[in-house]
C-alpha cells in the first residue's frame, strides 16, 4: 500500500514513520509530505531514503491512506482534497474532531463505527486517548457519572521548539521562548490558549471529546498543566460511578483491557511514570484507590507516551483496522 505521511518532518510525523516501521505496516511506497520549505529534503524509512514532496504531488501519487500531522490549518486545507481523490485520511490535528460528520476514534474503544465511506477520520487529542483507554472499560461496567481530570503534560505535546526551550533553559542558555514563562523547574497551568469560559482549549478537548467518544451524559471537568518532562503525559483522574465497585475487580478489568498495563504496587514504589512509559505504546494505570470523600468514587493515575499512543500509534492503529476489515 502507498502511504502518505503529511507533516513527515515534524516531531509527530517522524514518530509516525518510526511506528509504521516498527509495526510492519505494509508500506509499498512511502510518500512524505511537508511544507514548501521542506520539499526536496530527505527522510529515512525502512532503510531507504524518500524525498519530501508537496501535498498536490502526493495526491497525484494516489496513496491508499494519508496520515496527517501537519496542524489544523493544513488539515482543513488539504484533507478534503485527499478525500475527494478517494484517499482515506487519518488526521491527528484538532481540525475535524468535533465535526459531527467525522468519526473520532480510539480503536480499542470505538473502531467498529468506521466504514469504507469515512474518508476523513479524526485522531483524538493525546490526553483524551490515554484517559479514555483507562476510563472506557470502567464506564462499561460501572457507568461513570462524573470525571475530574488534572493533566501533567510533556513539552513534546507543544512541539520541537518547546523541547528546545526546555533543553536550553536546563543548559543555562538563552532560550527561544515558546511558553509565556520558563518551563524548566516550573509548572504552567496553561496548555494551549484560554477560551472565553476560562478553560484552555486543551481542557475543553478533554471535555468535548469524552462526550463524543464515550457518553454525553458524563459530567467532565479538567485542568491541564505543562510540566518540564519529555517522556509522556500523566493524569490524575477521579471517577464517580453510578454504582459501587470492588477494587480488585477494577484492577482485573483494567488488566484485561488491550493496550492497558496495570502498575499498582505502591509498597514496592511501582506506579506509572512518564519516564517508564516513554517509547511504549501502552497506557499505564496505577495508584488505584477508593475516594473516601465521595460514594462510589475512584482515584487513578495514568501515564502514556503522548507521541506514540497519544498520536502516531493511535493513528496507525486506525489505518491497520481499516486495512484488516477491507475499508481502504
Secondary structure (3-state) at 27: coil
- Separation CA 42–CA 20 (nearest Å): 17
- Separation CA 157–CA 185 (nearest Å): 18
Closest among 75, 71, 85, 210 to 151, alpha carbons compared: 210
Out of 139, 233, 278, 303, the active site residue is 233
- Separation CA 135–CA 124 (nearest Å): 15
User: What letter does residue 188 receive in the DSSP assignment?
Assistant: B
- Separation CA 265–CA 286 (nearest Å): 8
The three cell numbers locating residue 135: 476510563
CA distances from 181 to 166, 200, 201, 233 (A): 11, 16, 18, 20
Annotation says 233 is catalytic: yes
CA distances from 193 to 58, 200, 290 (A): 33, 5, 34
Out of 126, 191, 278, 303, the active site residue is 126
Secondary structure (3-state) at 31: strand
Ordered DSSP codes for 93-122: SSSSTT-TTSEE--HHHHGGG--TT--EEE
- Separation CA 207–CA 290 (nearest Å): 23
- Separation CA 63–CA 86 (nearest Å): 9
Annotation says 126 is catalytic: yes
Catalytic residues: 126, 233
Amino acid at each position: 500500500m502507498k502511504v502518505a505521511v503529511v507533516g513527515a518532518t515534524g516531531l509527530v510525523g517522524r514518530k509516525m514513520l518510526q511506528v509504521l516501521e516498527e509495526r510492519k505496516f505494509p508500506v509499498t511506497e512511502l510518500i512524505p509530505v511537508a511544507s514548501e520549505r521542506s520539499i526536496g529534503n530527505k527522510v529515512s524509512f525502512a532503510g531507504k531514503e524518500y524525498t519530501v514532496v508537496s501535498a498536490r504531488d502526493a495526491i497525484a501519487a494516489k496513496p491508499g491512506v494519508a496520515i496527517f500531522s501537519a496542524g489544523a490549518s493544513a488539515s482543513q486545507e488539504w484533507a478534503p482534497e485527499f478525500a475527494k481523490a478517494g484517499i482515506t485520511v487519518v488526521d491527528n490535528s484538532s481540525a475535524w474532531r468535533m465535526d459531527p460528520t467525522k468519526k473520532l476514534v480510539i480503536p480499542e474503544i470505538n473502531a467498529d463505527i468506521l466504514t469504507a465511506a469515512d474518508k476523513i477520520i479524526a485522531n483524538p487529542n493525546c490526553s483524551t486517548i490515554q484517559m479514555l483507554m483507562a476510563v472506557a472499560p470502567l464506564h462499561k461496567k460501572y457507568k461513570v457519572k462524573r470525571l475530574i481530570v488534572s493533566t501533567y503534560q510533556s513539552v513534546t505535546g507543544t512541539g520541537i521548539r518547546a523541547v528546545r526551550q526546555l533543553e536550553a533553559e536546563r543548559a543555562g542558555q538563552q532560550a527561544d521562548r515558546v511558553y509565556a514563562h520558563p518551563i524548566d523547574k516550573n509548572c504552567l497551568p496553561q496548555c494551549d490558549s484560554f477560551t472565553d469560559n476560562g478553560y484552555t482549549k486543551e481542557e475543553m478537548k478533554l471535555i468535548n471529546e469524552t462526550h463524543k467518544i464515550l457518553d454525553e451524559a458524563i459530567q467532565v471537568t479538567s485542568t491541564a498543566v505543562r510540566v518540564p518532562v519529555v517522556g509522556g503525559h500523566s493524569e490524575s483522574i477521579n471517577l464517580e460511578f453510578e454504582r459501587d465497585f470492588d477494587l480488585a475487580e477494577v484492577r482485573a478489568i483494567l488488566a484485561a483491557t488491550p493496550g492497558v498495563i496495570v502498575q499498582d504496587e505502591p509498597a514496592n514504589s511501582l506506579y506509572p511514570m512518564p519516564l517508564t512509559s516513554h517509547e511504549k505504546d501502552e497506557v499505564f494505570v496505577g495508584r488505584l484507590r477508593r475516594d473516601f470523600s465521595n460514594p462510589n468514587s475512584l482515584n487513578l493515575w495514568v501515564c502514556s507516551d503522548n507521541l506514540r499512543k497519544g498520536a502516531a500509534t493511535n493513528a496507525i492503529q486506525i489505518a491497520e483496522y481499516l486495512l484488516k476489515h477491507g475499508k481502504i
